[in-house]
Structure 1
Amino acid sequence: MTPRITLLFILLAFQLAAQPVSLKNAVILVSPSIPSPMRTTAPQMLVEEIAKRTNSSLKLAQAWPTGSSATIALALSSDKAVAGKPVPSRTGTDLAEQKPEGFRIVTEGATLWIIGADARGILFGSGWLLRNLKMDGKRLELAGPVDVATSPAYPIRGHQLGYRTTANSYDAWTVAQFEQYYRDLAVFGTNAIEGIPFHEEEKASPHFKIPAAQMQVRLSELCQKYDLDYWVWTPAEFELTDEAKRKAEIEKHEAFYQSCPRLDHIFFPGGDPGDNHPREVMAFLKDLQGRLVKYHPKAKVWISLQGFSTEQIDYFYKYLEQNKPTWLQGVVSGPSSPPMAETRFRLPKNYQHREYPDLTHNVRCEFPVERWDQAYTLTLGREAINPRPFFFAGIHGKYAPFTDGFVSYSDGCHDDINKITWSQRAWDPARSVNEILADYGRFFFGWPLATEVADGIAALENNWQGPLAQNGGVEATFSFWKTLETAHPELKNNWRWQMLVLRAYYDTYTRRRLIYEQGLEKTANALLAQATETGIENTLNLALATEEKADKERISVDLRKRIETLCADLYASIGLQTSVPKYKAKNYERGCLLDFVDYPLNNRWWLADEFKKIRAMKTPKEQVERMHVIGNWETPGVGSFYDDVSSGGNSPRVKTISEDATDIAWWDNGSSRARLSTQTFQNDPALDYDNLDPGARYIIRVAGSGDALLRVDGYRLKPLIYNKAPETFKEWIVPLSLTQDGRISVTFDEPEESHLNWRQHSKISDVWLLKQ
């Protein structure tokens, strides 16, 4: 045989081997050894999810079909044969399909085998198949041949789905919607769901489809059906030393335990909420565990150390050392917990350690968007649609090695992509985020869109990087999603699609408004900076009228209209509450982006209030001086510097950030009339200056509220002016000896204010270095 003919044979063999496996007319054959209810649940999931995408329904079979008909066979790795046909097996001692929850997918002629180590292996193997199938009206196929075996890296992979009024969408869901979401999460490797049975039980949501007590039982039933662990989060928001309340709480717990067909874990947060010493908490949990195992003998009890003082943390570990409680399963680490590495180090090895990551919030939280642009913080708020897959993949990689897994904190479907990312990375920490997003696009939107959706989601995450006005990628992302939206009208009722399209519109509308409104302010400031004692009233009127063009001569009205339509669509499709008055959200901080879509991105509200004060001043000289201060606020002149401390692109010299983004204010339900720079601040920022004039005298000016204990190059300076009221000034003279090298570092000591809530702490919002 000539080399040319040999090559042709090789190519032909390769092409035949790479032929896709067609399952269009397949039957599903299920091993009787698969435990119930998974014996029914997994094939039902396959049949229903395939039918949605292909308009054809696969049939179940009791025996192997004759001829060459395709078959999807579900079996356990312990099975020798199914209906007389041997189950493919491998030799070895470290096989994924023999590890808990592991599975193997292998093609053998016209048969596709899903071989699970256990019931969950069957579930997750079925999920893998659904994620990887090409499904549409003409095809149902898998790129073949296939031989894939995998098992999860972390045993706990869950998400909290609280049916309570605090949630921005879950409280509007039916049982059927919860089941679909459970199924969707299971397809991507989730094995646990956490409910909230008691918190806010006295506050029935106007969106509830059935009473909360009934829904908790139904959620437990769904976990039973899909073999998912059912966790419940149960804080004590009263003093456990109150015997009457303690007794009533234990009885309430017991009644709930008895009502649940499945219950695996009780998670008691030490704080957030709650304020009890661990001496009371541990005794309480021991009593609860005694009631729990009466109805669920294998159920476990967990505690978090959130909000515990050093003394309380030490007490807890001493308690473990002295009592060695076998009724306690482990510790949960969440916001305001001790560091995770420290917890794993101090926790005896026989106790598990679970993370409680906040995937749902953008600011004032555990994992905020770093240096988030002020325009977003003031309009999108705390619970916006927030796909952050690359960021959260990094967070998972940083903390997961100290844990046995996670159950995330979530208050709505807006963080859906973050949940999927965590579930997949907990299954395989090395899995590419792009692959995860491609699976997301393929399963939820159709296989032709896999790559485009992955790119589009990554682009939306990048929309939040850096100063918004400088991020030209926002317009490119909008164009990308607008093209997809136009090309795929069949997805218009898909809530995941609606969320991504809404973000593309909202980001672009906000950026265009920001550029437009800041341009108006620049013009108004120039008028104020040039004001004289003649024509004061005309200057004030003209400056305010210039800024208020943002209300009277709006831009991108078509985008604004589409945003409102998409919010209505999302409320109809998935119960997402983007407005308090319109969609009855619990409060304005819970993702109510529609209520802030037109919130001022210049200072027109603040100016209107300031101009009233100026008009009330006694002399024209005072009036003009204040007008000049306002007009030159952000432009102090050549050789001088200004920083809006926590406003991203307007704080180039600020080196510090707030780790939890509590420097992003939320005053007056988000409708503050304060100056925009006042609404972002730090308590003790650090700034570096260089290229200073060694022969010049400099003054440092600070605006904020409360104290500002300033140091320059480590030296504490005494102030010339020290006003503590909001938006008033403090000033210090910088000694010439400190500027001789052309640079200085400015820091602030943090005042002792531990007795105050963080909202009452001293704040620094604006810093000037003024060359005299």
Structure 2
Amino acid sequence: MKKTITLAFLLFLLSSLHIAYAQKADLSKAQIICPEKNDPVVLKAVTVLREEINKRTQIQLPVLQAWPKKPAATNIIIGLENNLQSIPAKYLSELATLDAPGKDGFRLLAFDGSNTILVAGHDSRGVLFGIGKLLKSMEMEPNKLLVSAGLRMSSTPKYPIRGHQLGYRPKTNAYDAWTVAQYDSYIRDLAIFGANSIEILPPRTDDDSTSVHMKLPAIKMIAEQSRICKEYGLDVWMWYPNMGSNYTAPDSIKKELDEREQVFKVLPKLDALFVPGGDPGDLDPDTLFSWLEKEAVVLKKYHPNAKIWVSPQVFKPSAEWYGKFYKHVNDGYDWLGGIVYGPWIRTPLPEVKKLIKPNIPIRLYPDITHSLSCQYPVPDWDIAYAMTLGRECINPRPEDEKYIHNFYANLAQGSISYSEGTNDDVNKFVWTSQDWDPSVAVIDNLRDYARYFIGPQYTEGVAQGLLALERNLRGPLLANDQVQRTLQQWQEMERNAPVWVMSNPRFQSGLIRAYFDAYTQRRLIYEISLEREARNTLENAKTLGVKQTISEARKTLSLAHEKPVSQELKARCYALADSLFRSFGSQLTVEKHHAMPGRGNFIDNIDIPINDALWIFSQLSKIEKLSTEDEQLKAIHDMLHRTDPGPGGFYDDFGSPSAWKHIKPQKTWAEDPGSLESPRVSFGVGLVGKDWVHEIVAKGFEGEATPLAWMNQINTLYDTPLVIGYDNLDKDAEYTLRIAYTGRFRSSVKLEADGVLIHNYTRMGTRPMYEFQLPKEVTKDGKVTFSWVSGKEDSGEGERGSQVAEIWLIKK
């Protein structure tokens, strides 16, 4: 009986394996049949299919232009849906059972009982996108080409604008290092995932005109970018800020128009010009629209169908500025394509929608490239990550990007993202995939990404690994047990990876983050313990003596550099940074890879102190200069008790999630990912000479260092009030309010407590610490609510927002 069951079970397994194999069509000996003879985009799409298959499998599929008298057993039929009459009727009749697609759409069908695949595009680009879907569905390895036999779909993109900005300029962290061939490859990759638009930049922007990496002058490279897009049938946009000094004087206007003429005439294709209202290039709306009318004349001279899109971006937006801007938009111009909604626009998108006429389209300009001080910062981010990974690290955020995309997408016609390089590579492909179909689960987008770019054996490992990297960034790093597991998952893939995977920049990008995150966590645990030990030593200064105590505390804190932890992880990060520079042009260090400081060079921050050691060192140097031991002992006590509010008092560091219980947000992150109407945590000291903590460290911290708590703060943007409340106060007591004002913005803020003015508009950035005696009337009910609003009286409207790093409520 046992043998019978075993035999039956084996037969069942064999049958199951046969069925599983049968579900895959073997296309390794297929021939491509494409009846199209004239359409260059369709013919280019066929080339894309053949080249991408050959690149991954070394299989070269033949191409026929007509149905052969003796067809092969395996065929891939490609063409426009209205130009497939020459293929057998049985295929056309089966194709007709699928819904007809719309613009850019396609029908894709794998026929039962044969290894025949049919890709029929509604239009030329539809053929390209259908081939893209086929490629993403294939399992491609050396001498192996399989595809699911169950492919059957009609697909039309949800949104008509789907693209990304690829700016050839030094400020990016990779693009300026690319060759023409690399641009061609990357643009092709984006098209395969459904992008139909690429945004390029003119030679003159708010940046240097050249870099050590550039292979061609900018004017030649943008012509190549435009040519590449034209060959793939993609739309070409150009972001063109107004960098001139005067747009009213005739001589200045002529100079600007002459420059545009030189740029526009070298581009083989240009479909739309995006001119930001500001950031950079602020102009009064009357001047702006008068200038755009003149610019439109030159644009149409070379690209008659091109339109100009404009954004309400401006550094200090006032109600008057916005009023004029939207009046011009609604007045209507024949050259106006629509408006662009991007970073640092003060008005929430739903309100913008109400301010413009219904027939005026909106294009999104989402910042998918930055992690802090940006449109959509990483929520609940540990300061150790903010200081090391920084603003422009490798930042796969698939779940965030899907959520943000779907939150805003229905208010616009699609998007072209703001990107500064390859650090946001995963985000680009997630965003484009969601622009095509926002109903698809993001894990399926990641599986397509992993299967196509790295290989079918890595589909699940890399897809889940990218989700794990995003989870690494959530919450306090000290307590995040995900980080070690993420490293182990990536190391397991690394151990078994062949050379061609290890040299793949997309695999390297995920791998370096797994190592970097784990190294940062281990260093944080170590350095926090060293700081605690040094503080314990300093608490015994009276017993040990000031000189010996300071010496021992310094030795303890110095162990972070003299006996560092996990150097094998750090070494792996350096090696991968070199590999990424070779493979992807990624500039992860300033000295070795010639990155622009603060632009993707997060490897330079790999050993930045992530405890309070630098501040303690600077305080100890000051203490040693005091004349008596009693003064020194008092100074040590004050240093150790810096955050102590005294008996019955309150203290909060608003970079810490635990302090948020006092904050009264208007909306949650899920309701307001761009935090235009609710608080966010921001990073950066923002004092004169101390803008960014990693820049200070790079300079060796000459002068006085700042406490770690000043490196982040609670922040609201523009005139959204910052409201913080305390209860359980002593109703009979008097309180002193001490505030640390730090942050990136030099805003002017006013503070009220329960409607009582505590201080009028005060400019931030000149000094951090302020102290005020609270009127007893505001605490007599046992609670108090503080409200900050960003400046109007001091400097007019449009200040960047209120920022508070620390609060002490000290009971008298």
* TM-score under structure 2 length normalisation: 0.86
How much has 1:394 moved relative to structure 2?
1.1
Separation in 1 of the partners of 2:800 and 2:134?
A: 54
| Equivalent residue for 1:332, pick from 304, 327, 340 | 340
Q: Does 1:76 align with 2:101?
A: no
Please tell me the residue identity of whatever aligns with 1:671.
E
- CA deviations 1:283-312 (Å, max 9, x no partner) are 222222222222222212111111153223
Separation in 2 of the partners of 1:85 and 1:582?
A: 62
Please tell me the residue identity of whatever aligns with 1:76.
L
How much has 1:472 moved relative to structure 2?
1.2
Contact 1:525 1:632 in 2 (8 A): no
Number of the residue aligned with 1:42: 45
Number of the residue aligned with 1:702: 739
Say if 1:313 and 1:689 are closer, same or farther in 2 by CA, change over 3 A: closer
Q: Does 1:243 align with 2:250?
A: yes
| Equivalent residue for 1:532, pick from 518, 542, 547 | 542
Say if 1:763 and 1:156 are closer, same or farther in 2 by CA, change over 3 A: closer
Separation in 1 of the partners of 2:190 and 2:515?
A: 27
Number of the residue aligned with 1:3: none
Separation in 1 of the partners of 2:759 and 2:238?
A: 54
How much has 1:617 moved relative to structure 2?
2.6
Q: Does 1:100 align with 2:97?
A: no
How much has 1:572 moved relative to structure 2?
0.9
Separation in 1 of the partners of 2:488 and 2:573?
A: 15
How much has 1:762 moved relative to structure 2?
7.7
How much has 1:192 moved relative to structure 2?
0.4
Deviates most, 186-195 or 756-765: 756-765
| Equivalent residue for 2:184, pick from 160, 179, 184 | 179
Say if 1:725 and 1:760 are closer, same or farther in 2 by CA, change over 3 A: farther
Number of the residue aligned with 2:308: 301
Matches within 5 A, 1:44-193: 44-65=47-68, 66=70, 68-82=72-86, 88-89=92-93, 95-97=99-101, 99-108=102-111, 109-193=114-198
How much has 1:480 moved relative to structure 2?
1.0
Instruction: Give the secondary-structure state (helix, strand or coil) at the position aligned to 1:543.
Output: helix
Separation in 2 of the partners of 1:273 and 1:71?
A: 53
Deviates most, 654-663 or 291-300: 654-663
Number of the residue aligned with 2:285: 278
How much has 1:110 moved relative to structure 2?
2.9
Separation in 2 of the partners of 1:753 and 1:535?
A: 53
Say if 1:725 and 1:257 are closer, same or farther in 2 by CA, change over 3 A: closer
How much has 1:352 moved relative to structure 2?
1.8
Q: Does 1:681 align with 2:713?
A: yes
Contact 1:317 1:346 in 2 (8 A): yes
How much has 1:701 moved relative to structure 2?
3.5
Q: Does 1:199 align with 2:240?
A: no
Q: Does 1:730 align with 2:771?
A: yes
Q: Where does the alignment leave 5 or more consecutive residues of structure 2 unmatched?
A: 1-11, 666-674, 697-704, 716-720
Say if 1:306 and 1:725 are closer, same or farther in 2 by CA, change over 3 A: closer
How much has 1:413 moved relative to structure 2?
0.8
Q: Does 1:260 align with 2:284?
A: no
Separation in 2 of the partners of 1:759 and 1:404?
A: 30
Deviates most, 182-191 or 236-245: 236-245
How much has 1:610 moved relative to structure 2?
1.6
Number of the residue aligned with 1:397: 406
Matches within 5 A, 1:408-427: 408-427=417-436
Say if 1:241 and 1:148 are closer, same or farther in 2 by CA, change over 3 A: same
Say if 1:428 and 1:718 are closer, same or farther in 2 by CA, change over 3 A: closer
Say if 1:522 and 1:634 are closer, same or farther in 2 by CA, change over 3 A: farther
Say if 1:651 and 1:311 are closer, same or farther in 2 by CA, change over 3 A: closer
| Equivalent residue for 1:224, pick from 227, 230, 240 | 230
Say if 1:17 and 1:627 are closer, same or farther in 2 by CA, change over 3 A: closer
Deviates most, 204-213 or 752-761: 752-761
Number of the residue aligned with 1:576: 586
Say if 1:181 and 1:321 are closer, same or farther in 2 by CA, change over 3 A: closer
Q: Does 1:432 align with 2:452?
A: no
Please tell me the residue identity of whatever aligns with 1:664.
G
Contact 2:165 2:419 in 1 (8 A): yes
How much has 1:373 moved relative to structure 2?
1.0
Separation in 2 of the partners of 1:344 and 1:415?
A: 28
Number of the residue aligned with 1:755: 795
Please tell me the residue identity of whatever aligns with 1:208.
M
Q: Does 1:21 align with 2:31?
A: no
Matches within 5 A, 1:373-392: 373-392=382-401
Contact 1:710 1:748 in 2 (8 A): yes
Say if 1:624 and 1:202 are closer, same or farther in 2 by CA, change over 3 A: closer
Please tell me the residue identity of whatever aligns with 2:738.
R
Separation in 2 of the partners of 1:313 and 1:93?
A: 51
Say if 1:120 and 1:253 are closer, same or farther in 2 by CA, change over 3 A: same
| Equivalent residue for 1:600, pick from 598, 609, 612 | 609
Separation in 2 of the partners of 1:367 and 1:414?
A: 15
How much has 1:91 moved relative to structure 2?
9.2
Contact 1:643 1:652 in 2 (8 A): no
What is the RMSD computed on CA atoms of the aligned residues? 3.3
Q: Where does the alignment leave 5 or more consecutive residues of structure 1 unmatched?
A: 1-7
Say if 1:528 and 1:17 are closer, same or farther in 2 by CA, change over 3 A: closer
How much has 1:320 moved relative to structure 2?
4.4
Please tell me the residue identity of whatever aligns with 1:50.
I
Say if 1:398 and 1:737 are closer, same or farther in 2 by CA, change over 3 A: closer
Contact 1:708 1:764 in 2 (8 A): no
Q: Does 1:630 align with 2:671?
A: no
Percent identity of paired positions between Structure 1 and Structure 2: 36
Instruction: Give the secondary-structure state (helix, strand or coil) at the position aligned to 2:82.
Output: coil
Separation in 2 of the partners of 1:655 and 1:527?
A: 39
Say if 1:67 and 1:330 are closer, same or farther in 2 by CA, change over 3 A: closer
| Equivalent residue for 1:30, pick from 34, 41, 44 | 34
| Equivalent residue for 1:502, pick from 503, 512, 528 | 512
* TM-score under structure 1 length normalisation: 0.90
Instruction: Give the secondary-structure state (helix, strand or coil) at the position aligned to 2:195.
Output: coil
How much has 1:42 moved relative to structure 2?
0.9
Instruction: Give the secondary-structure state (helix, strand or coil) at the position aligned to 1:580.
Output: coil
